Structure 1
Amino acid sequence: MLTIYADQISQRLSYVLTLIFHERNVAYQIVSDHDSFKKAALPKVAYSDDSSFEHYPKIYPSTLLFEDKIKKQMVLKSEWMTHEVLSFNGVPDILASIFYVISLYDDYLQEEKDHHNRNIGSRSLLYKMNWLEKLMVERWSEQFIDFIEQENGCQLKTQAIPFKIVPTFDIDNTFAYRYKKGGRKFLSIGKDVLKMNLPRLRERKAVLSGHKKDPYDTFDQIERIARNGFDVKVFWLLGDYGKFDRNLAAKNLHHQNVIKQTDGFTEVGLHPSYASNESETVLEKEKHQIEKILVRKVNHSRQHFLKIDLPTTFERLSNVGFSDDYSLGYADQLGFRAGIARPFVWFNLKENKVSNLKLHPISYMDGTLNEYMELTIEEAVKTVRNLKKEVKTYGGNFVALWHNETIGDYGKWKGWNEVLAETLKTEEIDV
């Protein structure tokens, strides 16, 4: 049994230690009285600046894990035991570093947002430190464990965090042409006529006459991936039609049949609409819609446009009954927004407590590679390979975000199935 002393057993400290040790299967206890710590058998470590622990393995703490409010911190890259960590108001602190990153503390303080009111990856602390493509929480956790083992002359016999590839798909537009009716259909045709987009007009005619498959109809491909043993997740947009919410209507029976068929081979979750980010009532309505279609509870979600407004978005998801969310990533940058790839329980900084919502970080989004970073296919393949190697090395889920319309070898996505194929490679990765 590992014993850890702290002057105060705070919510934040308890959260960090659970994150480090629970999945690694290390038994530990936290104590706050001197006698219990000094009488405890090895291994042990003091997280305190108390001079009476000078002869014990010891880490000097910053104040971050003993605070209960969100406030500006002087955060710099520093060094602890030859490792790069964060310092807080001049104190290098590996445990506080873990908490600062996993709690998304920096995102709360970031004032500059993009035109969708999202945090900007290139403005994040991890990006500035050149750490965004590294699993810093896992790296620091292993360094902390190494310190305990070296200082106590022991082995904690940690259990490795498993590695898994998790392909996920957002369905923003179920079809390019099929089942679109009324004004939407004629406006779209009119737009193509005005622009003299003859290839698109011919394609629409071929699809609607049954001579050609709809280019967004890639559900057979998603099914093959699921049948090959991958834990595929699909998130469906059902929001009312709007500027950024353009899928078929939820009441369209053809649309409902596709959703049900997909749920037959993998788990379908909700893709809350752009509009739902402004209203818990709209979010709850969309949750009820998809549950009515699937005739079951739907507990998994991913935000449309990866819109996250901290802490409101996650609070609302939890309030209406979601247990798991797959939105955690930046749109403009790939990598690990919370320094971790395995699912973890979100810590609500505003309430200073552990929530009931589990977050599943994404490793990359298709549009980040192609549209934001403008990588070539070859560059994207190499980038995906390196990200997957990082997750394989430190453990976690390699969650890739694709769309049904981006895997069809169509338009600006022609050839990008090579990047998806790299993602799905399961052979041994050199680490």
Structure 2
Amino acid sequence: MQLLIYTPKITPRIKYTFNFIFREILYCDFEFTSVAADFSNSNWPKISYNDIPLGDELYFACSSFLTKHNIEPIKIKETLFGDQKVPFAIENSALPFDVFAASFYFLSRYEEYLPFEADEHQRYPATQSLQYKLDILKIPVIDSWALVLKNILLKKFPTLIFGKRKFEFIPTIDVDRAYHFRSSGILKNTVRFFKAALKLNTEKIVDIIGTGLGQNDPFDTYEYLTNTHAQYNLRAIFFFLLAKQGHEEFDQNINPEDEAFKNLISEISEVAQIGLHPSYASNIETKKISEELLSLQEITQKRIDASRQHFLKLNFPQTYLQLIKAGINHDYSMGYASQLGFRAGTCTSFFWYDLQLEKQTHLKIHPFAVMDVTLQQYLKLNPEEAIAKIEELILSVKLVDGTFCSLWHNESLSETGKWKGWKAVYDHMLKNSLD
């Protein structure tokens, strides 16, 4: 038997949020009704989401947030829920906060549509997010709240049917620079050689000479990745940067016309899913997204409809509108560079809600929880500390039977320079996620 939900007006925000929580997380079917008499006469398990209860039903008080159709600063009242600080506090309800309004606020990234002080890459800083301020960024709170809802409903309606999810791990790899020295050309590598010699960097000198003599390039970690993913029966996703005359400082990849690079992409596409890593420059020259996507499809001879933004440059709603226009259906950019955790409050994939048009789109967002650069560069952790942080994140996802998605780079597995000792972190993450 399915759940009946009464609300006086079924707005796009309400429909979107309830669909996500009940159908995508809890696997529980439901119907809406706005007819009070039909609700009162029904023998189905039922709840109301309203300003006031209709009778003695299971009642969830409704804040005004999900009934609005505009984007403006809002005053959010906070309260305690267990040991958590939560937004949208309300009274005389089954829960002390409007779980649906809070979920939509995080999912839609409402706060990122409002004025904010951007970082050096014009990104929304994690420290300005409400989750960070409430200290719940490292928890997939929407998934956790959904399980609380499930327990409340089962206590009242023991026959209500819920499906069961299974924990899943999706490793993703960003290929910003396919190789360190290979395919760079004699002139560029000669300059690198003399710079390394001046700094007495013997490791780099040995790597340059070794690569020139036909040994593996330090960033050529693809065989290791392929074998390791196969060992754990994981199908990874590789996002390739194919910038042509991109941003001089931030799009330093191999020329997409390089044969070795093209062969690498073709080989990886046989064992993993391939996605586009839109260049830094594409955020300004948006036509580059389509051009780079076409290049990747010509190399793989496959249709590519997944992407992740280079440097995680994500601006609402422009970035997602540009991706949709280019033919992207799946985006993996939902996470912060400077902090670990769940930018949209969930570890579950969801369809992007366009706040300007007030409608759900077909662009599916796949959030990630951890990035190697966040651990090493932003948080300044050593490998042992990084492993501990990853274990905490994996546990938080396992507790809700969700999906743990990681973001790594081929070069961070090179065991050279600043990445010495970090291959063990990746190994431990894969092993821990499947224990």
Which of the five TM-score ranges fits, normalised by the shorter chain? over 0.9
> Which piece of structure 1 moves more, 247-256 or 16-25?
16-25
Distance 1:183 1:311, change over 3 A: farther
Distance 1:50 1:226, change over 3 A: same
Amino acid at match of 2:101: A
* 1:49 matched to 2:54: no
Q: SS state of the match for residue 399, structure 2?
A: helix
Q: Tell me the equivalent position of 1:30.
A: 32
* 1:313 matched to 2:313: no
Pairing 1:21-420 to 2, within 5 Å after superposition? 21-23=22-24, 24-50=26-52, 53-79=54-80, 84-87=85-88, 92-109=97-114, 111-150=116-155, 152-181=156-185, 184-185=188-189, 187-189=191-193, 191-192=195-196, 195=199, 197-210=201-214, 212-228=215-231, 229-241=233-245, 242-420=248-426
Q: Could you tell me whether the CA contact under 8 Å between 1:342 and 1:395 is conserved in 2?
A: no
Alpha-carbon distance in structure 1 between the residues aligned to 2:142 and 2:110: 14
Shift of 1:70: 1.3
Alpha-carbon distance in structure 2 between the residues aligned to 1:426 and 1:193: 41
RMSD: 2.1
Amino acid at match of 2:166: P
Amino acid at match of 2:216: K
Provide Cα deviations, 1:382-428, integer angstroms capped at 9, x if missing partner.
11111101111102221111110001222111111221112111577
Shift of 1:168: 0.9
Q: SS state of the match for residue 399, structure 1?
A: strand
| TM-score (norm: length of structure 1) | 0.93
Q: Could you tell me whether the CA contact under 8 Å between 1:173 and 1:248 is conserved in 2?
A: yes
Q: Percent identity?
A: 31
Alpha-carbon distance in structure 2 between the residues aligned to 1:182 and 1:342: 47
> Which piece of structure 1 moves more, 283-292 or 200-209?
200-209
Alpha-carbon distance in structure 2 between the residues aligned to 1:297 and 1:112: 37
Alpha-carbon distance in structure 1 between the residues aligned to 2:83 and 2:179: 54
Alpha-carbon distance in structure 1 between the residues aligned to 2:137 and 2:364: 21
Alignment size in residue pairs: 426
Alpha-carbon distance in structure 2 between the residues aligned to 1:418 and 1:202: 23
Alpha-carbon distance in structure 2 between the residues aligned to 1:108 and 1:162: 33
Q: Could you tell me whether the CA contact under 8 Å between 1:343 and 1:396 is conserved in 2?
A: no
What are structure 1's unaligned runs of at least 5 residues? Answer: none
Distance 1:95 1:83, change over 3 A: farther
Distance 1:89 1:192, change over 3 A: farther
Shift of 1:279: 2.7
Amino acid at match of 1:160: K
Alpha-carbon distance in structure 1 between the residues aligned to 2:84 and 2:213: 64
Q: SS state of the match for residue 106, structure 2?
A: helix
Provide Cα deviations, 1:367-391, integer angstroms capped at 9, x if missing partner.
1011100112111111111110111
Shift of 1:264: 1.3
Q: Could you tell me whether the CA contact under 8 Å between 1:132 and 1:336 is conserved in 2?
A: yes
Shift of 1:243: 1.4
Q: Could you tell me whether the CA contact under 8 Å between 1:74 and 1:89 is conserved in 2?
A: no
Q: SS state of the match for residue 398, structure 1?
A: strand
Alpha-carbon distance in structure 2 between the residues aligned to 1:47 and 1:344: 22
> Which piece of structure 1 moves more, 73-82 or 56-65?
73-82
Q: Could you tell me whether the CA contact under 8 Å between 2:178 and 2:253 is conserved in 1?
A: yes
| TM-score (norm: length of structure 2) | 0.92
